[in-house]
Chains A and B, each alone.
Chain A
Amino acid sequence: MNCQEIRPQITAYIDNSLESQLVSEVRRHLDSCAACAEFHREQLQLADWFSSGSIELEPPAQIWAGIEGRLAPASAFHWNFLEFFQFPSFRYALAGVAALLFLSAALLLNSGEAVSFNSALAQIESYNLNVEGNPFWPEVRSQNPFFEFDRQGLERVDNPFDRSDQLP
Chain B
Amino acid sequence: MSSDVSPEELKEIVRRAQNGSPEDFQRLYNLFSKPIYNFIWRLIGSTEDAEDLAQDTFLKVHNELKSLREPGQFKFWLYRIARNEVYQKLRRSQRATEVSIDDEEITYFNFIPDGSESLNPEKEVLSRELNEVIGRALKAMSPKYRDVFVLAVLEKMSYEDITKIVGRSLLSVKTDIYRARLIAKDILNDYLRTK
Contacts and interface: CB of A to CB of B under 8 A. Distances in A.
Interface of A: 7-9, 11-12, 15-17, 42-43, 46-47, 49-60, 62-64, 66-67, 70-71
Given A8-B174, A63-B37, 14 more contacts: A9-B174, A11-B181, A15-B153, A15-B158, A15-B159, A17-B160, A17-B174, A49-B130, A51-B154, A53-B130, A53-B131, A57-B47, A62-B51, A67-B58
A71 B60 CA distance: 11
Interface in B52-87: 54-55, 58-59, 62
Interface stretch (B6-14, B98-106, B110-118): B110-118
Given A11-B177, A11-B181, A66-B55, A55 B154 contact: no
A37 to B, nearest CB: 15
Given A12-B159, A15-B159, A17-B152, A52 B130 contact: yes
B51 A60 contact: yes
Nearest to B176: A8
Interface in B149-171: 152-154, 156, 158-160
Give the interface SS of chain A, mostly helix, strand, loop or mixed. Answer: helix
11 contacts: A8-B174, A11-B177, A42-B185, A51-B153, A53-B131, A54-B154, A55-B112, A57-B37, A57-B41, A66-B55, A70-B59
Contacts of A51: 153-154, 156
Interface string B113-144: 10010110000001101110110000000000
Nearest to B29: A64
B184 to A, nearest CB: 6
Contacts of A50: 130, 134, 153-154, 184
**Which of A47, A50, A64 has the most B CB atoms < 10 Å from its CB?**
A50
Contacts of B160: 17
A46 B178 CA distance: 12
Interface residues of B, number: 44
Given A64-B33, A67-B58, A53 B127 contact: yes
B34 interface: yes
A57 B51 contact: no
**Which of A8, A12, A50, A59 has the most B CB atoms < 10 Å from its CB?**
A59
A63 B59 CA distance: 10
A92 B129 CA distance: 54
A64 B31 CA distance: 13
A25 to B, nearest CB: 15
B90 interface: no
Given A42-B185, A53-B131, A63 B51 contact: yes
A65 to B, nearest CB: 9
B29 A58 contact: no
Interface string B178-191: 10010011001000
B38 interface: yes
B175 interface: yes
A67 B55 contact: yes
